[in-house]
Amino acid sequence: MEAVIIIVFVLGYLAITLEHTLKIDKLIPALVMMAISWALVSFGVDDFQNWFDSSKHALIDNFKAFDHSEKMHILEETLLHHLGKTAEILVFLLGAMTIVEIIAYFNGFSTIKNFIQTKKKSKLLWIFAILAFVLSAIIDNLTATIVLISLLQKIIIDRKMRLWFAGLIVIAANAGGAFSPIGDVTTTMLWIANKVSTGHLFGYLLLPSIVCMVVPTAVASYLPAFKGSLEIDTTQSQPAGRFSGTMLYLGLAAIIFVPIFKVVTHLPPYVGMMLSLGIVAVFAEIFSSSKFSIKELDKDNHEGPVHHSPVHHSLSKIELPSILFFLGILMAVAALESLGVLFGFADWLKVATPALGTELPGAEVSDLVVLLLGVGSAVIDNVPLVAASLGMFSQPMDHELWHFIAYAAGTGGSMLIIGSAAGVVAMGMEKINFFWYLKKISWLALIGFLAGAVTFFFTRTLF
């Protein structure tokens, strides 16, 4: 039965990887794979030799000798445990996405556009790269990519030129998300799982992430595509609004507050995110009341002022397919983890993979394994790879291995347009061709990835 579950898993990921070829949204195979995997686990529970207790992070001794009712009870407890851990991530993402949509409701991101006045291509490239790097660390790389490509479409008229900018934005956004606990889903997963802490993430990964962004941006600025000036649309298509700047800074501050809340209270991050969302929502409702007059409401909308609620509007705009995709991915990986399959794979990696230079100090896995994980994240979604690593390795919190995994999985996906959530959304927004990206951008992402990895080999010696 284990072999059948692994086959289902492989076929599901193949369908996810070939999403654009099959014309099937990746959330569909993710959900189907999750449901079938757990159904097969239930059918074959009496035949499994091993079972992994996720709450104790250890294999259950003599699981084969348990009777059927005991095994089913353990299965239900394990399923509930994984659903709870997955829900922590999903609720966190829902809160963050809603705050960003509230900012967008007040046209808050137009404040950023007002700072962009240059027409020089190379200078504009650096502006967008730095913005992508900083914003992704604050509001996550997926959202930062959406925001900045939306700005690109309002500023740069030539679509072919926008493709180059979009490609470099993906690289910079993924680099910026790697060192922040809220910048990338995979880093958030490691943070919520208590594998990394905010302070050590900054210490280990800030410099490698900067190098990962700076090197490809610097090289690209000398390419013919970024020579000279271009025609810029500097007109303001939408007035910024009375509260746009206020809501931008309030929303960003509320998201930054979440890691502080976790450190102070020791509660899961989603609790702090819900508090931040509540605070932002209060101000949004107050400002919304000032934004619309009673006369306008009566004239334009006879269904009542609730439809002008920024919170209701923002909740209707969040990317629910992404949430369901993460649910399917994480729960499918949990099925393999529960059977102990990932630990067998980890043991094989440790034996079969040669060391690359020097082993990680005190680690049982070579640098090459983590680098391969980063390359793999360009082919396979980085979420399942990191989810698998959580089950494969047992190093303590803030071990350098976890930080290297955060870097590799977060930035390695830039090497292919389908390798990261930021790349996928950029592909959708600008209709970027897979092979165009492979030819023009992938080599830049590769040199940035390797340069950042070399930098990490230095920064890990400082702790």
CA distance 155 to 235: 8
Residue 374, pLDDT score:
84
Banded pLDDT at 456 (limits 50, 70, 90): very high
Q: With 60 as the cut, is the pLDDT of residue 168 above it?
A: yes
Residue 354 makes CB contacts below 8 A (sequence gap 6+) with 366, 368
- The tokens describing 426, both together, are 């950029």
Amino acid at 327: L
Residue 343, pLDDT score:
61
| 290 located within any domain | yes
Residue 281, pLDDT score:
92
Give me the domain span that covers residue 291: 83-463
Answer yes or no: pTM beyond 0.85.
no
Average pLDDT, the chain: 80
| Between 244 and 446, residue with greater pLDDT | 446
The phi, psi pair for 59, rounded to 5°, reads: -75, 140
Q: With 90 as the cut, is the pLDDT of residue 351 above it?
A: no
CA distance 163 to 159: 6
Among 279-283, 312-316, 418-422, name the one with the lowest average pLDDT: 418-422
Banded pLDDT at 350 (limits 50, 70, 90): low
Q: With 60 as the cut, is the pLDDT of residue 305 above it?
A: no
Residue 164 makes CB contacts below 8 A (sequence gap 6+) with 220, 225, 226, 440, 441
Other CB atoms closer than 10 Å to residue 391's CB: what's the count?
A: 21
| 258 located within any domain | yes
Q: Is 346 helix (H, G, I), strand (E, B) or coil?
A: helix
> Per the structure, how many domains does the chain have?
1
CA distance 332 to 39: 11
Per the rule left: phi > 0, alpha: psi between -120 and 50, beta: everything else, 353 is beta
| 334 located within any domain | yes
| 212 located within any domain | yes
Amino acid at 431: K
Q: Is 403 helix (H, G, I), strand (E, B) or coil?
A: helix
Residue 348, pLDDT score:
64
| 18 located within any domain | no
| Between 279 and 287, residue with greater pLDDT | 279
Other CB atoms closer than 10 Å to residue 83's CB: what's the count?
A: 15
Among 170-174, 204-208, 247-251, 361-365, name the one with the lowest average pLDDT: 361-365
For the chain, give the percent of residues with pLDDT over 90.
20
Residue 454, pLDDT score:
92
The phi, psi pair for 60, rounded to 5°, reads: -80, 130
| 405 located within any domain | yes
Q: Check: CB of residue 229 under 8 Å from CB of residue 120.
A: yes
Q: With 60 as the cut, is the pLDDT of residue 296 above it?
A: no
Banded pLDDT at 301 (limits 50, 70, 90): very low
| Between 219 and 82, residue with greater pLDDT | 219
Residue 231, pLDDT score:
64
Most confident of 128-142, 233-247, 425-439, 444-458: 444-458
- The tokens describing 26, both together, are 């990746």
| 48 located within any domain | no
| 24 located within any domain | no
Task: Tell me the per-residue pLDDT of 16-70, one tens digit each, with 9 for 90 and over.
Answer: 777 777 888 878 988 999 999 999 988 888 887 778 776 665 667 777 778 888 8
Q: Mean of the pLDDT values across residues 165-183?
A: 91
185-192 and 400-412 helices cross at what angle (nearest 10)? Answer: 160
